[in-house]
């Protein structure tokens, strides 16, 4: 029989064991909160993952593979061939269910057609509706009997550094590759990639073959067209802002070309030393060093030595920015241009014009023997060499090719350089004429053509 002392000792030991086995309420609550927090954190990450996966699933059908058509030496009887290293020559994004596609100009090159492969692996031929080398954009269209999945442009003015973006393209032939990243910077210029630069920088992986593909925000809107990378760096890619692309595409769609506003001034950066000389305290603005006679700036009263500080609502900090802002307006638009002259600020209304391009088309006078190759040609001037990016200026430039001509069907294109006619060199227009004068009716003409540094021969049968 237990004594009271033994019984009390046993109860004390038992209560200690129970206390050791059963945590107190605060410990139980802490453990419960920790588990709940981990569960919520995991659920949050899974929600993000599911959202990105859903986004990728929704937008990838709008991305296409673009393969420019190779026309070197092609003939009517041979099938057209994409350039080497396809698939994966470039990417594009469908922006309208009727078959309009945006890509880079450098992807399609000088061709008039491109091969398009849709997400369902359907292959179609696309016509180049228009191109704009100054922004490196091109608009294509495929003829379809069904509605295609299409993406919409978002507002690139709302893009913020640090926001998540999704790049989709066909790098190295790997169709519809998706990469996730952030916007690393905005308003990037002076990259020497195009004439009008205002790039979005991103660390979403962009590789060869991504060019022309879309950069999406998390809403699935296109906020940029991927265009370039820095080869010696990782995680530095550039995209053309969607607002710029949208303006260019609208003009290409309606008229096949882009027409920009023109101010008519020569400009240079405003250094601290120049700022002090011209009385600009904050150092912001663009120095006018030349005003072209008869152009909008002169008519409006702008003079050499003026500092342009603002055009419309945009404050200016670089010459590239001024060119881009003015180009965003159309000919005939009136803009308010703020300047500083002799330390005094003033605003001048300017009616923008259109840049007068020097003629680039020179028709060959009719041959006495009635030969017609279906092309217009010209000597290679410095302006033409710059326009067509020609390094070797010896030869005759093809400035126009009739779409229904034998020359077009045999692969000749605008910008080609004719080096020989029937194995005779033609360094001048006179030599070219003489060579054709020797061709008898019914005879064929052998041309040696130089295009993008590569030479090839073409045989034409002139039309009478």
Active site residues: 106, 136, 211
Distance CA 10, CA 7 (A): 5
What spatial distance separates the first Cα and last Cα of the chain, rounded to whole Å?
Answer: 135
From the list 366, 352, 436, 364, the residue with the least C-alpha distance to 398 is 364
Q: Which residues pair with 279 in a beta bridge?
A: none
How far does Cα 170 stand from its chain's mean position? 16
Please identify which residue in the block is written with the tokens 């000792």. 9
In sign, the C-alpha dihedral spanning 270, 327, 140, 414 is: negative
Contact between 91 and 138 under an 8 Å Cβ cutoff? The reply is no
Residue 284, C-beta contacts closer than 8 angstroms, at least 6 positions apart: 270, 309, 315, 316, 317
Measure Cα distances from 218 to 51, 70, 109, 266 in Å. Answer: 8, 37, 31, 42
Q: Residue 201, class by beta-carbon neighbours within 10 Å (0-12 exposed, 13-18 middle, 19+ buried)?
A: buried
Distance CA 254, CA 250 (A): 6
DSSP string, 115-165: EEE-TT--EEEEEEEEEETTTTEEEEEE--SSPPP---B--GGG--TT-EE
From the list 183, 168, 165, the residue with the least C-alpha distance to 61 is 168
CA atoms within 13 A on the CB side of 458: 27
Strand locations in 302-343 (E): 307-311, 314-315, 334-341
Distance CA 92, CA 117 (A): 10
Strand locations in 133-249 (E): 137-142, 164-169, 177-188, 199-202, 214-216, 222-229, 237-241
């Amino acid at each position: 029989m237990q004594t009271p002392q033994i019984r009390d000792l046993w109860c004390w030991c038992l209560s200690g064991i129970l206390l050791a086995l059963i945590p107190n309420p605060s410990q139980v609550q802490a453990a419960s909160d920790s588990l709940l927090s981990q569960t919520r954190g995991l659920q949050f990450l899974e929600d993000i993952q599911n959202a990105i996966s859903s986004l990728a699933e929704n937008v990838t059908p709008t991305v296409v593979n673009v393969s420019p058509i190779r026309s070197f030496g092609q003939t009517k009887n041979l099938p057209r061939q994409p350039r080497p290293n396809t698939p994966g020559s470039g990417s594009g994004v469908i922006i309208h269910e009727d078959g309009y596609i945006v890509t880079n100009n450098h992807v399609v090159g000088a061709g008039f057609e491109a091969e398009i492969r849709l997400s369902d692996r359907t292959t179609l031929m696309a016509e180049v509706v228009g191109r704009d080398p100054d922004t490196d954009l091109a608009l294509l269209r495929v003829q379809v009997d069904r509605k295609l999945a299409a993406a919409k442009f978002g507002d690139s003015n709302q893009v913020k550094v640090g926001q998540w973006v999704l790049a989709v393209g066909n790098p190295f032939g790997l169709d519809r590759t998706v990469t996730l990243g952030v916007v690393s910077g905005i308003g990037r210029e002076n990259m020497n990639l195009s004439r009008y630069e205002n790039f979005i920088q991103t660390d979403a992986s962009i590789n060869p073959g991504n060019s022309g593909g879309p950069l999406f925000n998390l809403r699935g809107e296109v906020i940029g067209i991927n265009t370039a990378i820095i080869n010696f760096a990782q995680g530095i890619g550039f995209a053309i802002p969607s607002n710029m692309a949208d303006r260019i595409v609208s003009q290409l769609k309606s008229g096949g070309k882009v027409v920009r506003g023109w101010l008519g001034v020569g400009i240079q950066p405003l250094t601290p030393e120049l700022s002090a000389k011209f009385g600009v305290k904050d150092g912001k603005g663009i120095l006018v060093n030349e005003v072209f006679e008869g152009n909008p700036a002169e008519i409006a009263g702008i003079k050499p030595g003026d500092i342009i500080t603002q055009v419309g609502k945009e404050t200016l900090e670089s010459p590239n920015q001024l060119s881009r802002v003015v180009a965003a307006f159309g000919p005939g638009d009136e803009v308010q241009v703020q300047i500083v002259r002799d330390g005094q600020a003033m605003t001048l209304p300017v009616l923008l014009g259109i840049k007068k391009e020097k003629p680039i088309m020179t028709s060959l006078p009719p041959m006495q023997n009635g030969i017609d190759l279906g092309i217009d040609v010209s000597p290679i001037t410095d302006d033409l060499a710059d326009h067509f990016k020609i390094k070797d200026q010896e030869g005759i430039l093809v400035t126009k090719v009739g779409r229904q001509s034998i020359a077009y069907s045999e692969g000749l294109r605008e910008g080609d350089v004719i080096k020989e006619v029937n194995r005779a060199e033609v360094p001048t227009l006179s030599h070219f004429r003489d060579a054709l004068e020797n061709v008898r009716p019914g005879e064929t003409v052998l041309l040696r053509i130089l295009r993008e540094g590569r030479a090839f021969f073409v045989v034409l049968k002139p039309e009478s």
